[in-house]
A = this chain, B = another copy of it.
Amino acid sequence: MGSSKNITWHQSTVKKRDRYLLNGHKSCVLWFTGLSGSGKSTLANAVDNALYQQNIRSYVLDGDNIRHGLNRDLSFGAEDRKENIRRIGEVAKLFVDSGLIVSSAFISPFLDDRQLVRNMFDPGEYIEIFLNCPINICEDRDPKGLYQKARKGEIPDFTGISSPYEVPNDPEIMIETNTMTLDQSVEKILGYLKERKIL
């Protein structure tokens, strides 16, 4: 600053570890991945609700708040799908920096894209949760009627039908959503967070 001003402004920044202290828990991203209809959004919201009940600060990123907002400019083409996942990863990183436990509920079918997101985070902060459910069960559920449309050829590059789902090699958590109850699934995830001293 020039000598003509006698007002000096010093910068002070609240760090991630400060926010841990305020909240009483650490932050991380719970990255739910799996086929359409495997239960990602439902489980992510159930975990979010269970965390809320324990006074833990958390948030869910899913199609409802991302596709019509931040990523409204993106198509479902290959390049834009990659950009979709990259942006969600970057937003999740901001939430983790802010001290929250953020859940991301998107198919995210490709290993490379998930690896790119994992690399954004410090070790232990990115927790991949693979919702392992046979495609015939997902297709039977078909909550949004998407499989039916995909089978008719109305949706190009539909994951599991006309585009691959690359199964995670080594997810931190695996949930078999066709045999476990929602409560059991939530408990498994909360158990992991306690074991890793995030809670």
Q: Report which A residues bind B (CB closer than 8 A).
A: 1-2, 4-5, 7, 9-14, 18-19, 22-23, 39, 41-43, 45-46, 48-49, 52, 55, 57-61, 65, 69-70, 73, 83, 87, 90-91, 93-95, 97-100, 120, 137, 140-141, 177-182
CB contact between A11 and one of B5, B45, B73, B140 (< 8 Å): that residue: B45
Q: A7-B181, A52-B18, A52-B22 are in contact. Are A98 and B39 (CB under 8 A)?
A: no
A69 to B96, CA, bound (A): 13
Shortest beta-carbon distance from A85 to chain B in Å:
13
Known interface pairs A11-B42, A94-B91; A4-B140 also in contact (CB < 8 Å):
yes
- For the complex of A and B, list the 6 residue pairs with the smallest distance between their C-beta atoms, beginning with the closest: A59-B98, A70-B90, A2-B140, A69-B90, A9-B182, A14-B52
Q: Which residue of B lies closest to A61 (CB)?
A: B94
How far is it, in angstroms, between the C-alpha of A61 and the C-alpha of B45 when the chains are bound? 25
Asked if residues A41 and B93 are in contact (CB atoms below 8 Å), the reply is no
Interface centre among A7, A46, A93, A177 (most CB of B within 10 A): A7
Contacts of A39 in B (CB 8 A): 9
For A181, what are the chain B residues with a Cβ–Cβ distance below 8 Å? 7
Kindly list chain B residues whose C-beta atoms are within 8 Å of the C-beta of A100. 98
14 contacts between A and B (CB under 8 A): A2-B141, A7-B180, A9-B43, A9-B182, A10-B42, A11-B42, A12-B46, A14-B49, A14-B58, A65-B94, A70-B91, A73-B83, A91-B91, A95-B95
The CB with the most chain B CB atoms within 10 A, among A12, A57, A94, is that of A94
Q: How distant is the Cα of A73 from the Cα of B74 in the complex, in angstroms?
A: 14
